[in-house]
Each structure stands twice: as C-alpha cells, then as structure tokens.
C-alpha cells in the first residue's frame, strides 16, 4: 500500500470517521473485518444450537415462546452480520462454506453442552452478558456497516440477558433442587464465559492492529475484567457462588481479582476438540445439505423468470 494513502486512512480512523464499503481501505483492514464479522455471524448461527436443544422441553408455554423468539433473534443477528461482511466483497455462500469445512471459527462457548433447563438461564445471563460487554463498544467500531448492525443487535442482546437472569432468579428462589441446578449451571458456564473474550492480552495476536484500526475498541482482558466486575454482584443477588476461590474485591485496584480460565482448554476448544465441536459442525452441515433443494428450487425459478424476460 502507498504510505501516503495509509496515513490518510489512519487519519480518518483517528478522527473517528466511519469507513464505508466503497472507500479505499488497506487489504489487512478488509481481511481482519471479514474474519471478525464472519466469525461473529457464525457464532450467532451456531449459537442457536445449544438453546434450540431446549425449545421442545421448556417448562411452560410462556418460557417456550420466549426461548423460540430468542433463538430466532440470533438467526436475525447472523443475517445482519453476513450482510455487513458481504459489503467487504465476500459472499455469504463463501463464508458459509468456510464455516462448514472448519476454515473459519465461531465462539468457543458454543462447543459446550446445555445439560439442564437452568443452562438456559445461565446462557442468557452469562453468555449474552459477555456478548453485550464485547458488543456495546463495537457500536463505535470504525467500519460503518458493522457499527450500525451492532446497534440493533445490542438492543436485542440486552433483552436476552435479562430473560436469562429472570430464569436464574426463578430457579435460585425455587426448591432446593432447582437452586442446585442453577448453581451447577453457573459452575459449568463461568469459565467458558470468561473465555469468550479471547486469550489473555499477551497471547492476543490481533489486538494491537485491530485496536489501532478501531475494529476492536478494548483489549480482551479489559472486557473480561468489566464482565467479572458486573457479574459478581448479580451472582450474589441470586444467592449463588461464583466457582472461584481466588475471587475477591481489590480495594486498591477498584476491581475484583479472579482466576484466569484454563487457557489450554480454550486453545483445545478453538482447535476443534471441545465437547461439542463435532456435533455443532455436523448439525450445520446437515442443515445445509438437507435444504439444498430450497436453494436449487430458487435458482431454477430465477432462471425460468430470466428466460421468460429474454423471450
Ligand atoms: N472463540 C473462538 N475463537 C476465539 C475466541 C473465542 N472466544 N477468542 C479468540 N479467538 C481466536 C481468534 O479468532 C484468533 O484466531 P484466528 O487468528 O484464527 O482468527 C485467535 O483466537 C487469537 O485471538 P485474538 O485475541 O488475537 O483475536 P481477536 O482480536 O479477533 O479477538 C474477539 C477475539 C474478542 C472474540 C474478537 O474477534 C471480537 O470482538 N469479535 C466480535 C464479537 C464476537 O465474535 N462475538 C461472538 C460472541 S457470541 C455471540 O455473539 C452470540 C450471542 O448471541 C451470544
């Protein structure tokens, strides 16, 4: 890239101008956005699976309707994000193929199973809570279509987080067995939720460049700390215990001290070896293959209409 062009681009970023699809951008900026927005879109789509698992088994009709709406929202988020990625010159089909054959990642969290109804509460409270912590700052990200998609997504995510907390509240204030289920869900989801923010800053290969380009607004560790600070009082309010013996308020820092997740587990999961990686990719591949007839039908219809126009 021409140094003068690069400097002019960086000056626009530094002045908080939005970069739009037809503007000049460095190839690395485009590639990083495709990677991050694509991975984010895939997370929304794969993220439907752990919750979809409980739609038919929700305890009441009301809970079922709420969960169904939530899972549909995730599909919608995936679609806005694929549209934002398409403005960078990659097609939705290409992105989908890269998800299906494992060339692109999706969030590590969705490779964990949802074993009980209380997990629907913990996913909403912790997973959507972590997602919002990461996504609210992304409303100010430098790429216009991504920033705008994030505005609506964040509004819906905060609804999701509240419904998760409401489920947890019901369980935590329920029978002793229900409270135990809520505690068990928190025990299993806590560290995987901390991992959603990505590796610790010293191992985050992309953070420095992504922050200079304002593709990311905060480091992984900054957001993880904010999440812990926000979530610990919420756990206390529920009367549940965060599964971390080292968790304590640090008056001097004005933050909670906490244990890091097991990073070897994180790297294992993102390399495809988590408890549900194989299931998740099989489910997405099956959906793609089973619905090939819809795509073929639409293309045949399109061709027929085109021919009718020519004739
Ligand atoms: N899961 C899977 N992979 C992860 C990860 C995670 N939790 N955290 C990091 N990684 C990967 C990165 O993709 C990168 O791998 P790559 O080079 O092969 O792409 C590698 O680990 C190194 O990490 P870095 O910190 O250098 O990577 P990033 O700068 O991209 O930071 C991120 C990672 C913070 C997740 C950032 O990409 C980001 O902010 N993404 C946008 C938000 C997003 O994707 N959220 C998904 C959450 S779930 C969700 O939205 C669904 C909701 O409905 C609950």
Question: Using one digit for the tens of pLDDT, what is the confidence trace for 246-262?
Answer: 999 999 999 999 999 99
**pLDDT at residue 309, rounded to an integer:** 86
Ligand 1 touching residue 111 (CB < 6 A): no
**pLDDT at residue 90, rounded to an integer:** 98
Ligand 1 touching residue 133 (CB < 6 A): no
**Which atom in ligand 1 lies closest to the alpha carbon of residue 223?**
34
**pLDDT at residue 97, rounded to an integer:** 96
Ligand 1 touching residue 196 (CB < 6 A): yes
Whole-angstrom Cα Rg for the chain: 21
The CA-based angle 127-129-130, given to 5 degrees, is: 65
**pLDDT at residue 178, rounded to an integer:** 97
Top mutation candidate among 31, 38, 39, 110 for ligand 1, by most atoms within 8 Å of CB: 39
Dihedral of the CA atoms 129, 30, 282, 57 (nearest 10)?
20
Dihedral of the CA atoms 147, 152, 156, 158 (nearest 10)?
50
**pLDDT at residue 147, rounded to an integer:** 97
**pLDDT at residue 117, rounded to an integer:** 97
**Which atom in ligand 1 lies closest to the alpha carbon of residue 39?**
44
CA of 15 to the centre of ligand 1 (A): 26
Ligand 1 touching residue 193 (CB < 6 A): no
Task: Tell me which residue has its CA closest to atom 13 in ligand 1.
Answer: 105
Ligand 1 touching residue 47 (CB < 6 A): yes
Partners of 17 in the beta sheet? none
Q: What are the contacts of 70-77 at 24+ separation with CB within 8 A? A: 70/124, 70/160, 70/163, 73/156, 73/159, 73/160, 74/44, 74/45, 74/47, 74/48, 75/44, 75/45, 75/48, 76/156, 77/41, 77/44, 77/153, 77/156, 77/157
**pLDDT at residue 311, rounded to an integer:** 72
| Cα distance between residue 249 and residue 255, in whole Å | 6
User: Which residues, including other chains, have CB under 8 Å from residue 213's CB and lie 6 or more apart?
Assistant: 13, 29, 32, 142
Top mutation candidate among 79, 206, 273 for ligand 1, by most atoms within 8 Å of CB: 206
Strand-strand pairing, 255-257 and 248-250: antiparallel
Residue ranges, the chain, pLDDT below 70 = none
Ligand 1 touching residue 39 (CB < 6 A): yes
Partners of 255 in the beta sheet? 250
CA of 1 to the centre of ligand 1 (A): 27
CA of 62 to the centre of ligand 1 (A): 33
Ligand 1 touching residue 199 (CB < 6 A): yes
**pLDDT at residue 310, rounded to an integer:** 82
**Which atom in ligand 1 lies closest to the alpha carbon of residue 74?**
53
CA of 310 to the centre of ligand 1 (A): 47
């Amino acid at each position: 890239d021409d140094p003068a062009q690069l400097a002019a681009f960086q000056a626009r970023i530094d002045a908080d101008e939005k970069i739009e699809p037809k503007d000049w951008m460095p190839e690395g900026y485009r590639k990083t956005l495709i990677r991050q927005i694509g991975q984010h879109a895939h997370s929304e789509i794969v993220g439907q699976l752990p919750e979809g698992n409980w739609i038919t088994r929700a305890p009441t009709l009301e809970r079922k309707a709420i969960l169904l709406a939530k899972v549909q929202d995730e599909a919608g988020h995936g679609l806005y994000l694929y549209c934002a990625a398409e403005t960078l010159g990659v097609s939705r089909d290409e992105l989908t193929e890269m998800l299906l054959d494992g060339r692109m990642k999706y969030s590590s969290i969705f490779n964990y199973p949802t074993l009980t109804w209380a997990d629907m509460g913990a996913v909403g409270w912790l997973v959507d809570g972590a997602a919002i912590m990461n996504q609210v700052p992304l409303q100010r990200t430098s790429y216009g279509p991504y920033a705008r998609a994030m505005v609506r997504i964040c509004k819906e995510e905060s609804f999701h987080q509240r419904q998760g907390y409401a489920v947890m509240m019901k369980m935590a204030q329920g029978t002793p067995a229900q409270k135990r289920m809520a505690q068990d869900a928190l025990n299993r989801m806590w560290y995987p939720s901390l991992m959603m923010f990505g590796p610790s800053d010293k191992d985050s290969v992309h953070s420095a460049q992504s922050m200079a380009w304002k593709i990311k607004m905060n480091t992984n560790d900054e957001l993880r700390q904010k999440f812990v600070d926000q979530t610990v009082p919420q756990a206390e309010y529920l009367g549940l215990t965060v599964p971390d013996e080292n968790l304590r308020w640090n008056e001097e820092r004005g933050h909670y001290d906490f244990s890091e997740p097991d990073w070897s587990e994180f790297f294992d999961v993102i390399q495809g070896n988590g408890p549900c990686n194989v299931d998740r990719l099989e489910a997405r591949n099956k959906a793609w293959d089973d619905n090939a007839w819809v795509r073929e039908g639409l293309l045949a219809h399109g061709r027929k209409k085109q021919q009718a126009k020519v004739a």
